[in-house]
Structure 1
Amino acid sequence: MEKLPIIALDFTGEEAIHFLKKFDEQLFVKVGMELFYESGPSIIKEIKDLGHKIFLDLKLHDIPTTVQKAMRQLAVLDVDLVNVHAAGGLQMMKAAVAGLNEGSTGKRPDIIAVTQLTSTSEIQMKNEQQIQGELIQSVQHYAALAKEAGLDGVVCAATDCEHLVNKLGTGFKYITPGIRPTGTAVNDQVRTATPSEAARLGAYSIVVGRAITGSADPVASYHQIKKEWSGTDE
């Protein structure tokens, strides 16, 4: 299967569709809170009608019953990937999988869990979350819970991947935001990597936003990042 970087559509609905029409190929795109809350389920249909795959990034985190019912509704939107916060716990994650199974009429969307955000540093984790120890230990713990709950993978920093592969194997999916091509701004991310570094470290997929969406030539930037990520010439 072709390795497609996931493009973060950090736009309003009209801007997102205008951006997508610059491309003449299937993309894998991330619809996050900003876009979904502004445009609602209609934006999912519009993007699907253009032939693209969708990661609906809403990071659900609530009591198990609420998450199960919410996932039941998200399942009918025909997205390809959804997520929750692993901090919600084992039972919440199991409920999320159950909700997706209940709401899906065909293959259910893949579901992954956020471990620690790539904007979170170890110092911040200790001081604000009151989690002691190393940040990678927290990531490994959350990832192991997600696998036990029956999820398909986790969201983590690319630099976490090699540790998780050693602990959980290559069959689990490691989705890595915080991707910054060499020479681009880090912005509000803390734990970053280049596309080629993410591939080398064992990432299953990468999420890239401003390096593509903020580019003067987003199509060219996308193909350059895709080339670096896949390790192939186009």
Structure 2
Amino acid sequence: MSNLPIIALDFPGISETKDFLSKFHTEKLFVKVGMELYYQSGPAIIEYLKENNHQVFLDLKLHDIPNTVKSAMKVLAGLEVDMTNVHAAGGQRMMEAALEGLNSGTVSGKKRPTCIAVTQLTSTSTSQMNKEQLIEGELERSVLHYARLAKQSGLDGVVCSPLEVSDIHTTLGSNFLTVTPGIRMADGNAHDQIRIATPEKARELGSDFIVVGRAITGADDPLSAYQTIKKAWEGIQHVK
């Protein structure tokens, strides 16, 4: 699984997605399919992406009782996605059940999808966590707690902001994956994200994967925007 920038395909349907991807010609991408696109298009969008040799992160953030998550993951494993996720707040037993489902649903001879856990959404602030989730203390402490729980459960890594990556790798090891949304160019709009970073900063902080949405999908020239971000992420050039 290559660590290309992951493009968030936040489109309402498969036709808009195909139109967007046509701008990339034969380039092989790592893309994220979220709730909106998957709920509208279903497995057909995954099939289309895999037929075109794109890597797929299926971002459904499962959070339910362990048996339900296990059954759902067994189905998702059959789609042969490269990465999928759950909410760490579902607890250790639920995360263990997710892995059980993925293992049982993976086709013989194929690699199980990478499974990661969402810690705290990058749109969440410490104040919001304190008041609405009734979790006291700093947000970074909660993220690290959920990351520990995910590792204890056998998961491959977590979704977090780039700002928490260093603590996670220091505590849980460099092989525990950190997938980081909230990536913006220095002059970009933060939109509804709070804990954000540029591609260069994410690389400096040690992110294993970055997820980029509107900075690419909303650009006048998505291919050029992608190439700029890819070069910045790879450290090929400094983008001001």
Q: TM-score range by the shorter chain?
A: over 0.9
* Aligned match for 2:139, one of 129, 135, 144: 135
CA offset digits 1:154-185 (Å, max 9, x no partner): 00000010111111110000000000011010
Whether contact under 8 Å (1:100, 1:108) holds in the other structure is: yes
Query: Does residue 228 of structure 1 match 2:229?
Result: no
* Aligned match for 2:179, one of 175, 180, 205: 175
| Residue matched to 2:22 | 21
| Residue matched to 1:190 | 194
Matched to 2:111, the amino acid is: K
Query: Does residue 6 of structure 1 match 2:14?
Result: no
Structure 1 segment 131-170 matched on structure 2, within 5 A = 131-170=135-174
Matched to 2:10, the amino acid is: D
Shift of 1:2: 5.1
CA offset digits 1:43-78 (Å, max 9, x no partner): 110111111000000000000000000000000001
| Residue matched to 2:129 | 125
| Residue matched to 1:91 | 93
Determine helix, strand or coil for the equivalent of 1:47. Answer: helix
Whether contact under 8 Å (1:9, 1:32) holds in the other structure is: yes
TM-score normalised by length of structure 1: 0.98
Determine helix, strand or coil for the equivalent of 2:115. Answer: strand
Distance 1:31 1:17 in 2: 13
* Aligned match for 1:36, one of 35, 38, 42: 38
Distance 1:2 1:133 in 2: 36
Computed over aligned residues only, the root mean square deviation of the Cα atoms, in angstroms, reads 0.9
Determine helix, strand or coil for the equivalent of 2:23. Answer: coil
| Residue matched to 1:109 | 113
* Aligned match for 1:75, one of 74, 77, 86: 77
Of stretches 12-21 and 112-121 in structure 1, the one that deviates more from structure 2 is 12-21
Determine helix, strand or coil for the equivalent of 1:84. Answer: strand
Matched to 2:165, the amino acid is: C
| Residue matched to 2:212 | 208
Unaligned runs of 5+ in 1: none
Shift of 1:232: 2.1
Shift of 1:142: 0.2
> How many residue pairs end up in the alignment?
233
Matched to 1:146, the amino acid is: A
* Aligned match for 1:52, one of 46, 51, 54: 54
- The percentage of aligned residue pairs carrying the same residue is 58
